[in-house]
Amino acid sequence: MTDLHTTTDAPTEERVRALLAEMTLEEKLAQLVGFWDKGDGEAVAPLQGVFDVVRGLPAVSKDGLGHLTRVYGTRPVEPVQQARWLWETQRRLVHETRLGIPALVHEECLTGLAAWHAAAYPTPLAWGASFDPDLVAATAAAIGRSMRALGVHQGLAPVLDVVRDPRWGRVDECISEDPYVVGVIGSAYVRGLQSEGVHATLKHFVGYSGSQAGRNFAPVHAGPRELADVYLVPFEMALQAGARSVMHSYVEIDGLPVAADPALLTDLLRTEWGFDGTVVADYYGVAFLHLLHGVAGDLAEAAVLALTAGVDIELPTGDAYLEPLAEAVRGGDVDEALVDRAVTRALSQKAELGLLDATFDDEPPTSLDLDGADQRALAARLAEESVVLLSNDGVLPLAAPARVAVIGPNAHRVQAMFGCYSFVNHVLVHHPEADLGIEVPTLFEALAAELPAAEVTYHQGCAVDDADISGFEAARSAAAAADVAVVVVGDHAALFGRGTVGEGCDREDLELPGVQRALVEELLDTGTPVVLVLVTGRPYAVAWALERCAAVVQAFFPGEEGGPAIAGVLSGRVNPSGRLPVSLPRSAGAQPFSYLHPVLGGDSDVTNVSSAPARPFGFGLSFTTFTHDRLSVPAESPTGEAVRVTVRVTNTGDRAGTDVVQLYGRDPVASLTRPVAQLLGFQRVHLEPGSSAVVELVVPPARFAFTSRAGTRMVEPGVVELWVGPSCADRETEALVTLTGAVHPVPFGEELWTRTSVD
Q: How many domains does the chain have?
A: 3
State the DSSP H helix or E strand holding residue 328, giving kind and residue range, or none if neither. helix 323-330
Residue 364 forms part of a structural domain? no
Do 398 and 449 belong together in one domain? yes
Question: Any idea what the CATH number is for the domain that residue 743 is in?
Answer: 2.60.40.10
CA–CA distance from 370 to each of 199, 217, 365, 433 (Å)? 19, 34, 12, 21
User: In whole numbers, what is the pLDDT of the chain averaged over residues?
Assistant: 96
The CATH number of whichever domain residue 249 belongs to comes to 3.20.20.300
539 with 682, same domain: the answer is: no
Domain-located, residue 695: yes
How large is the average pLDDT for residues 676-699? 98
Model confidence at 655, pLDDT cuts 50, 70, 90, reads: very high
User: What pLDDT was estimated at residue 38?
Assistant: 81
pLDDT at 4 over 60: no
Percent of the chain with pLDDT over 70: 97
Listed residue (509, 516, 548) closest to 531, CA to CA: 548
For position 9, what pLDDT does the model report? Answer: 72
Domain that holds residue 663: 626-758
Is residue 450's pLDDT more than 80?
yes
Residue 41 has pLDDT above 80, yes or no: no
Dump the DSSP string for 339-384.
HHHHHHHHHHHHHHTTTTT----SPPPS---TT-HHHHHHHHHHHH
Distance of alpha carbon 477 from alpha carbon 394, whole angstroms: 24
Residue 52: pLDDT over 70 = no
Band of pLDDT at residue 605, cut at 50, 70 and 90? confident
Q: Do residues 630 and 587 both lie within one domain?
A: no
Q: Could you say which of 601, 634, 649 is where a domain stops?
A: 601
Task: Say if residue 276 is in the same domain as residue 400.
Answer: no
The pLDDT tens digits for 188-244 are: 999 999 999 999 999 999 999 999 999 999 999 999 999 999 999 999 999 999 999
Q: How confident is the model at residue 1 (pLDDT cuts 50, 70, 90)?
A: very low
**72-99 per-position pLDDT tens digit:** 999 999 999 999 999 999 999 999 999 9
311: nearest Cα among 234, 241, 255, 257: 257
pTM of the model: 0.97
Domain co-membership, 320 together with 406 = no
Confirm whether 438 is domain-assigned.
yes
Pairing between strand 67-69 and 252-253?
A: unpaired
Between CA 439 and CA 107 the distance in angstroms is 22
